[in-house]
Amino acid sequence: MNRKKRPLYFPHQPGRTERRISVFILLVLAGIAILVLWRQSSFDLTRYGVIGSSAAKSGSQSVNSVRSSFRLPEIRSLAPPGYEPAGKGERYDADNLFEKIDGKAPLYLEAGFRNLVAQRFVDRQEEGRWIEVLAYDMGLVTNAFSVYSRQMRPDAVLIALPDFSCRSANALFMVRGGIYLEIIGSKGDEKTRSALLIIGRRIGRGGGERPPIPELTLFRGDRLVAGSEKLYLKNAFGYSGWSNVYTAKYKSGSAELTVYFSRNSSAQEAKKSADAYIAFLKGDGGKELPAGANPPGLAMISYLGSIEAVFVINDFVAGVHEAEDQQRALKISALLAENLKRRKGDE
């Protein structure tokens, strides 16, 4: 028997070169595996039509943006007397917000939504009576105000809680700092409304010292319809060139007119923006009408059966939207122009 014959699985010890080549190949394979894992872990949901956390970067990011230092109290501590938290509460981010509010999610996502914290409180004594607090962190006061103002119910009652608040029969809607809150009761009676107010006051504590959005003070005068102010972050009036546009309603006789303004980075930008809007209206069939000289540079366009007024004051583009009467539009334009001029003088 040949003692020197070894089993086949002990052929020989690899040499130095062989070892080096083997290690190199293994490193390359490991690198490929790591690369694949890294790519797979960070796929772009937007390719599949799902708005991912990149939506947090949307919303107002301009001269109109307003930040706040407000921090919401611990949500479970908001329970009014006689109520207790039901469950641990829920938390949602941009990726799963739809799991709470379904088709309304884009309204918030497009306005800079960051996260939602929701907590239900149940009445200890009465089954079926509960209140749910939904706190949407929109990042900026302006973002929060935009979603608040655009969802304002026609018969909402304004209440004096900072920073902005109104109520309906069973719900309280608030903006406090960069947080938009919906506080919804299961019943629409006085008992519920009292509990909603208690929660609202706790949230509003410490606020109200100064206007949360200074631009809104430009809407003033006794003709202003209280609570009609809105902020469109994008596509105001269906026009893609209009971003960060504030609107409000003013009374004129028996009618209400919608006025608007948007602040730009400079007077030149404001002029460009106004010219682009006028060109858009004319390109879509609008006809220019003779306009007065007040404010200077005022343009009036007859468009789809109503009148659009556009003018520039310093770095503001402003005007009247969908007016039915040209004279009324002229008067309100002059009024708004005065407010805007005074603002520049204040600064």
List interacting residues with other proteins (CB under 8 A): 2, 4-6, 8, 10-13, 48-50, 98-107, 128, 151, 153-156, 168-171, 173, 182, 184, 186-188
- Enumerate the β-bridge partners of residue 158: 166
Q: How far is the CB of 218 from other proteins (least distance, A)?
A: 28
Minimum CB distance to other proteins, residue 106 (Å): 7
In SS3 terms, the chain reads as CCCCCCCCCCCCCCCHHHHHHHHHHHHHHHHHHHHHHHHHHCCCHHHHCCCCHHHHHCCCCCCCCCCCCCCCCCHHHHCCCCEEEEEEEEEEECCCCHHHHHHHHHHHHCCCCCEEEEEEEEECCCCCCEEEEEEEECCCHHHHHHHHHHCCCCCCEECCCCCEEEECCCEEEEEECCEEEEEEECCCCHHHHHHHHHHHHHHHCCCCCCCCCHHHHHCCCCCECCCCCEEECCCHHHCCCCCCEEEEEEEECCEEEEEEEEECCCHHHHHHHHHHHHHHHHHCCCEEECCCCCCCCCEEEEECCEEEEEEEECCEEEEEEEECCHHHHHHHHHHHHHHHHHHHHHC
Provide φ and ψ at 142, rounded to 5°.
-65, -40
Nearer to other proteins, 305 or 345 (CB): 305
Q: Is the CB of 168 or the CB of 258 nearer to other proteins?
A: 168
Nearer to other proteins, 63 or 169 (CB): 169
186 vs 314 by CB, closer to other proteins: 186
Question: Of 101 and 159, which has the nearer Cβ to other proteins?
Answer: 101
Instruction: Tell me the closest approach of the beta carbon of residue 105 to other proteins, in angstroms.
Output: 8
By C-beta, is 133 or 301 nearer to other proteins? 133
Residue with Cβ nearer other proteins (105 or 317): 105
Structure tokens at 125: 């004594």
Q: Which is nearer to other proteins, 63 or 101 (CB)?
A: 101
Shortest distance (Å) from residue 342 CB to other proteins: 36
The least CB distance from residue 120 to other proteins, in Å, is: 8
CB of residue 7 to other proteins, shortest distance in Å: 8
- For the bound state, the minimum distance from the C-beta of residue 93 to other proteins, rounded and expressed in Å, comes to 13
At 247, the amino acid letter reads T
Task: Tell the smallest beta-carbon distance from residue 187 to other proteins (Å).
Answer: 7
CA distance 8 to 300: 96
